Amino acid sequence: MGSLTGKVVLMVIPQNQFDEEELFETRKVLESTGARVVVLSRNGQEAVGMNKTRFQPQGTIIDWNKQGVSGKYDAVLLVGGKGAAKSMWDDPILPQILTDHCRAGKVVAAIGQSVAVLARASFLNQRAASGPGDERFLNELEAGSGYYSDEPVTSSDRIVTASGGVSAKEFAEAVSAAVLDETADG
C-alpha cells in the first residue's frame, strides 16, 4: 500500500452507538500509511460506541471545513454502527459535504449502516454497494436505486462501500488505493 503522507481524511461517526471496529481499525490503517485523520460527529461531544467505548471527536460536522484543512479532504468516510440510522441517515449536512467532495473528484466512502447515507444522497444510483445486508439497510439501498453486493468491499469511481467492522481493514485499504488513484489522475 502506498503512502498517504500529506493527505487528510475526514471520518464522520454516529453520535452514539458507533461501531468501534469500523472506526478504530479503519483509522489505524489510514494513519499507518501517513494520512492525517480528522474524526467529527453531529455535535462533537464524547461519543459512546456499541461496546461502550468512549471516544472524543475533534469537532462537529457543521465545522468540517474549520479543521485546519486547506481546501477539500482527500477522502470523506462515514462510520456506521447502530447509531448511524438515528444520527446520520437524515442529517442535512452530510449529503452536502459528500456532494461537494465528490464533485471535486475526492473519495467518498461508507462502512456498515452508514452506507445508507450514500444511498439516500443518490450516490449509489444503479451501483453495487456492500453493506450489512439487513432488511432495513436493503430497503434504503433499493430506495436509493442501488443494488446489494455480498462482497465485503465494493469500490467504483471513487465511491467505496463496505459491509461492516469485519471488513474495516480491507475498506481502509480500498480507500487508500482510491486516494492514491486520485492523486495519480490529478
Query: Can you tell me the distance from the alpha carbon of 155 to that of 86, in angstroms, rounded to the nearest whole number?
Result: 26
Query: Can you tell me the distance from the alpha carbon of 164 to that of 152, in angstroms, rounded to the nearest whole number?
Result: 8
Strand 128-129 with 54-55, pairing: unpaired
Domain of 84, CATH number, reads 3.40.50.880
The reported pLDDT for the residue numbered 186 is 44
Instruction: Pick the closest to residue 56 from 40, 70, 72 (CA basis).
Output: 40
Residue 84 lies inside a defined structural domain of this protein: yes
Residue 1 lies inside a defined structural domain of this protein: no
Mean pLDDT, the chain cut into blocks of 10 residues (186 residues total): 90 97 98 96 96 96 86 95 95 95 96 97 96 95 95 96 97 96 58
CA 161 to each of CA 16, 65, 129, 135: distance values in angstroms, whole numbers, following the listed order: 21, 24, 6, 17
The reported pLDDT for the residue numbered 68 is 80
Residue 3 lies inside a defined structural domain of this protein: no
The reported pLDDT for the residue numbered 135 is 95
Structural domain including 50 reads: 8-185
Residue 152 lies inside a defined structural domain of this protein: yes
The reported pLDDT for the residue numbered 169 is 97
Residue 2 lies inside a defined structural domain of this protein: no
Residue 161 lies inside a defined structural domain of this protein: yes
Residue 155 lies inside a defined structural domain of this protein: yes
How many domains, the chain? 1
Residue 103 lies inside a defined structural domain of this protein: yes
